[in-house]
Amino acid sequence: MSRVDVLSERLIEFVARAASKISYDQRKLAAISGTSMYKIIVNVVNRVSDFISEDRNGLLWCRLCGRGPFTKRGLYLHLVRVHGFEIKDITEDELRRELTTAQK
């Protein structure tokens, strides 16, 4: 398993929290990502979370399957339980794209 694979696995919780409009511990995210990659990781988490959830007139909907409306906690649980693997794959792809862009 590559480092990107392991990192994307650990980011599922943060992406689901951000998509659900639930705050997360940024110090924990910094500890996972490391200080050199923190900015990149925050951008990836925000981009993926914007992609997977939608706010329709104050109600949260899942863009991956179209279900909703959800409460914040309901959407978080739905994303982690139902779409965990999809979130990991999307996050991994986005992280790889971001890292190749950063190297150029």
- Could you tell me the residue ranges of all domains in the chain? 3-103
| 3-class secondary structure, 37 | coil
**pTM for the complete prediction?**
0.93
* Token output for 97: 């794209």
The 8-class DSSP code of residue 70 comes to: B
Question: What per-residue confidence (pLDDT) applies to 101?
Answer: 87
Spell out a b/e string for 16-36, using b for 16 or more CB atoms within 10 Å of the CB, else e.
bbbbbeeeeeeeebeebbeee
pLDDT, averaged in runs of 10, over the chain (104 residues): 88 97 95 92 96 95 97 97 97 94 78
